């Protein structure tokens, strides 16, 4: 056996022990360790394979069985776990082990989108439940309000009150605590944690010199700080296969330590001096990024690699990886079921085992060495991790390799400049801003590549999730690899791939006939919100009514429709699920003006709309009932609100009833857009004898129960569009409203089921084309 592989069986055995204990029980962990130890002993006794390999297995397996088995058993019988099963109220004292991570909630009604709560890992010091006090330690996950908790640091001790809930299976966490109220009796964080937070805050402050999206990306790229990262960028990076850049990994440490090594070698420092310098950089970066699991994984792997450097074995990457797996899983068995850990190990193994061979093959066929290595690295990492990614997400990114290839040249300089900016910021903010300005183009390039790659048709395609999906894709890739190696089957494989493309692209990758020729109105699938596009007779030019709750969906909808110019963007009212995508529309499209109604509530939304319009240099205009707006092929009437509505105690209802009500005259007929008007708003229109008849109705308020039968009867729609989010918690749309519409002969379409929905003109009246999800 190749000496490089001597530690691999031991690493796999330790990992298997952890999997057995976490997914089943501690006896399974002990049994797995015993079997691995027995296999090693038999191999050692009979001389099978390499002696060091068998010896490592005999030593590592029983240690893993004992260590992991005991910890799994302690977690299983922990008193907090039984209290969590009964939903007990507790008072708990714990030490935070990670930085609080924000949980972003989607905006709806008067509540803005943003971080309302945080999650943070902690180690129990003691807890009280049902009059009993326990001082048994254990890992606990705190889900706490953002206020008061978001700025805490690892190492701080806090007292929290709340309700226990059971943890997810496959974890050593003994309970989840749903915290009520602010932290109590907090002490100061360790000095190194406070110093690290000062550096991170300096980087965030210096990054504000950039535009908002690059300003949020740079701290995420450098130290994994995603606090200011745009949700749109996150989603685009996931689709394009660049999401790994948003979490600290071995790549960050490799870049930083590599830069230090290059600098030291330029001054002719010896191997041990280089290793010492890189070790200092490694420790400093771990303190800067914080004790997150991904950071600690990367640190251990980097430490073992540096040790190999000191010993003069720079090429011992695989033994270093195997040693890292053993050390990390023994230290934290929960890594055995951590997808991030699996992805990290598999990707590193691909870079060690496959990338050099593939680069050599390409080099032998005439590809320049630099280009061969640049192609081999993302190709190996993407293909080997694809089964895991597919199993976790249920999707396969088809643009990951080219996207990673395009961003590879800028990741290293952006990372190094970001670290330097963080270090310099406390000393001189101006110098830090200069460094950030230099890193700005690189961050912008990353966003551009992620955005353009995610816009490619079929950038990400659906796949089976879970173990079955992962195994199935692994089998497909192995079969394809085997066929490629055999000369006789290469032509057959190429023909099969061409056939698959010809069949799958027209039927599933590219939606047939989308956008349909001659579309007049499209209800965009933007989740739990509204966004309606009205076509003019000029290609690429359309009026937009509302923007949905988030930037990504409306940007994708407009891109698919080919809309580049928006003469008027109407916000029916200022609730979060109607204005959340405004930033994307203003940034990506030419917008003539933004129109609102007479209501400027809620105030935070009004200020946000004003700020964004001012930043984009777009005029804000106010629409009132009776106005008539015309463009080639499109006329829009403003029907309401007609006057001051009856006051209500519910502020959300009052804002809903102040929605602009528009009726568009299109080639498909009249289209009534009602915003979120409820009973009072509908009564206002009917009481004013306003003609609300229309062939197409955008059903009020996502099909909520607050639609009067008299109003629906007055509209008499032939098509009813319900803009609603899949699985929403508001009960939208209401079944009685849907039945009332269908009972009057309307065809009811829902964006949560039908996706983007287009209405076209026809000889017999309007017709519909759905873009299925």
Exposure string of 562-582, with b = 16+ CB inside 10 Å and e = fewer, is ebeebbbbbbbbbbbbbbbbb
Q: Please compute the mean of the pLDDT values over residues 131-146 and round it to a whole number.
A: 94
Cβ 245 vs Cβ 418: under 8 Å: no
**Residue 292 has what pLDDT?**
73
Taking each helix axis as running N to C, give the angle between helix 369-393 and helix 355-364, from 0 to 180 degrees, rounded to the nearest 10: 140
Range in 288-292, 355-359, 764-768 with the lowest mean pLDDT = 288-292
Taking each helix axis as running N to C, give the angle between helix 271-289 and helix 400-424, from 0 to 180 degrees, rounded to the nearest 10: 90
CA dihedral 203, 205, 210, 216 (to 10 degrees): 70
Indicate whether 150 pLDDT > 90.
Answer: yes
**Residue 759 has what pLDDT?**
96
Tell whether omega for the bond before 641 is within 30 degrees of 0, i.e. cis. Answer: yes
Tell whether omega for the bond before 602 is within 30 degrees of 0, i.e. cis. Answer: yes
**Tens digit of each residue's pLDDT (9 = 90 or more) over 512-521:** 578 999 999 9
Residue 648 vs residue 272, higher pLDDT: 272
Cβ neighbour number for residue 657 with a 10 Å cutoff: 28
**Residue 699 has what pLDDT?**
97
Q: Minimal CA–CA distance to 396: which of 468, 458, 485?
A: 458
Q: Which two tokens stand for residue 434?
A: 């200069």
Residues whose CB falls within 8 Å of the CB of residue 367, separated by 6 or more in sequence, listed in order: 375
Number of helices and strands in the chain (H, E): 28, 26
**Residue 458 has what pLDDT?**
78
Indicate whether 246 pLDDT > 70.
Answer: yes
Percent of the chain with pLDDT over 70: 92
Cβ neighbour number for residue 548 with a 10 Å cutoff: 32
**What is the model's pTM?**
0.83
Q: Which two tokens stand for residue 355?
A: 């990338």
Q: Confidence band (pLDDT; 50, 70, 90) for 508? A: very low
Average pLDDT, the chain: 89
Question: First and final CA of the chain: distance in angstroms?
Answer: 51
Residues whose CB falls within 8 Å of the CB of residue 302, separated by 6 or more in sequence, listed in order: 250, 253, 254, 257, 278, 282
**Tens digit of each residue's pLDDT (9 = 90 or more) over 10-61:** 999 999 999 999 999 999 999 999 999 999 999 888 877 678 899 999 999 9
Cβ 144 vs Cβ 179: under 8 Å: yes
**Residue 418 has what pLDDT?**
95
Cβ 99 vs Cβ 55: under 8 Å: no
Cβ 662 vs Cβ 560: under 8 Å: no
Q: Which two tokens stand for residue 380?
A: 């190996």
Q: Which two tokens stand for residue 219?
A: 């701290």
Q: Please compute the mean of the pLDDT values over residues 282-294 and round it to a whole number.
A: 82
């Amino acid at each position: 056996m190749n000496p490089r592989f001597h530690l691999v069986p031991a690493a796999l055995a330790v990992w298997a022990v952890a999997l057995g204990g976490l997914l089943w029980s501690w006896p399974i962990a002990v049994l797995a360790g015993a079997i691995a130890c027995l296999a090693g002993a038999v191999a050692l006794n009979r001389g099978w394979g390499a002696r060091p390999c068998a010896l490592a297995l005999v030593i590592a397996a029983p240690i893993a069985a004992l260590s992991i088995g005991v910890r799994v058993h302690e977690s299983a019988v922990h008193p907090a776990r039984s209290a969590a099963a009964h939903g007990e109220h507790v008072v708990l004292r714990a030490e935070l082990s990670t930085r609080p991570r924000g949980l972003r909630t989607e905006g709806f009604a008067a509540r803005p989108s943003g971080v309302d709560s945080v999650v943070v890992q902690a180690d129990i010091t003691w807890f009280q439940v049902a009059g009993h006090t326990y001082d048994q330690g254990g890992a606990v996950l705190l889900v706490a309000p953002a206020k008061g908790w978001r700025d805490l640091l690892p190492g701080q001790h806090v007292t929290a009150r709340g309700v226990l809930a059971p943890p997810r299976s496959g974890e050593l966490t003994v309970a989840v605590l749903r915290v009520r109220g602010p932290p109590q009796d907090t002490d100061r964080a360790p000095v190194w944690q406070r110093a690290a937070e000062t550096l991170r805050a300096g980087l965030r402050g210096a990054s504000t010199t950039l535009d908002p999206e690059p300003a949020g990306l740079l701290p995420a790229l450098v130290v994994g700080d995603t606090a200011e990262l745009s949700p749109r960028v996150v989603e685009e990076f996931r689709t394009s296969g660049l999401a790994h850049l948003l979490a600290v990994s071995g790549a960050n440490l490799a870049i930083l330590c590599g830069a230090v090594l290059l600098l030291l070698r330029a001054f002719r420092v010896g191997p041990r001096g280089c290793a010492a310098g890189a070790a200092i950089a490694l420790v400093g970066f771990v303190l800067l990024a914080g004790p997150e699991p991904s950071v600690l994984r990367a640190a251990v792997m980097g430490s073992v690699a540096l040790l190999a450097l000191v010993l003069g074995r720079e090429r011992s990457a695989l033994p270093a990886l195997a040693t890292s797996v053993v050390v990390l899983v023994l230290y934290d068995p929960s890594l055995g079921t951590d997808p991030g850990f699996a992805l990290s190990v598999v990707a590193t193994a691909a870079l060690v085992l496959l990338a050099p061979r593939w680069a050599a093959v390409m080099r032998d066929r005439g590809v320049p060495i630099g280009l061969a290595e640049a192609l081999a690295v993302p190709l190996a990492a993407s293909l080997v991790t694809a089964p895991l990614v597919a199993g976790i997400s249920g999707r396969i990114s088809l643009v990951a390799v080219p996207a990673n290839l395009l961003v590879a040249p800028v990741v290293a300089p952006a990372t190094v400049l970001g670290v330097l900016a963080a270090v310099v910021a406390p000393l001189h903010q101006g110098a830090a801003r200069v460094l950030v300005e230099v890193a700005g183009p690189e961050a912008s390039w990353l966003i551009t590549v992620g955005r353009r790659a995610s816009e490619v048709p079929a950038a990400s395609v659906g796949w089976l999730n879970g173990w079955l999906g992962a195994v199935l894709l692994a089998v497909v890739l192995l079969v394809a690899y085997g066929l490629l190696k055999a000369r006789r089957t290469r032509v057959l494989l190429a023909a099969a791939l061409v056939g698959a493309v010809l069949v799958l692209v027209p039927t599933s990758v590219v939606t047939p006939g989308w956008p349909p020729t001659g579309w007049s109105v499209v209800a965009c699938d933007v989740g739990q919100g509204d966004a309606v596009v009205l076509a003019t007779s000029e290609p690429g030019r359309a009026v937009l009514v509302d923007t949905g709750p988030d930037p990504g969906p409306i940007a994708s909808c407009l891109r698919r429709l080919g809309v580049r110019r928006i003469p008027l963007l109407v916000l029916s009212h200022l609730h979060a699920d109607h204005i959340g995508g405004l930033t994307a529309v203003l940034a990506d499209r030419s917008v003539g003006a933004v129109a609102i109604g007479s209501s400027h509530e809620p105030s935070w939304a009004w200020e946000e709309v004003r700020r964004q319009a001012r930043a984009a240099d777009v005029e804000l205009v106010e629409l009132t009932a009776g106005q008539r707006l015309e463009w080639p092929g499109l006329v829009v009437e403003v029907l309401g609100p007609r006057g001051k509505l009856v006051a209500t105690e519910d502020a959300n209802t009052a804002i809903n009833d102040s929605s602009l009500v528009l009726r568009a005259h299109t080639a498909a007929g009249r289209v009534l857009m009602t915003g979120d008007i409820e009973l009072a708003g509908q009564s206002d229109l009917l009481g004013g004898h306003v003609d609300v008849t229309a062939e197409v109705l955008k059903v009020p308020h996502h099909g909520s129960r607050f639609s009067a039968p008299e109003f629906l009867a007055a509209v008499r729609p032939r098509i009813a569009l319900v803009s609603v989010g899949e699985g929403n918690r508001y009960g939208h749309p209401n079944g009685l409203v849907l039945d009332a519409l269908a009972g009057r002969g309307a065809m009811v379409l829902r964006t949560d089921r039908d996706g983007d929905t287009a209405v076209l003109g026809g000889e017999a009246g309007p017709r519909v084309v759905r873009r299925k999800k």
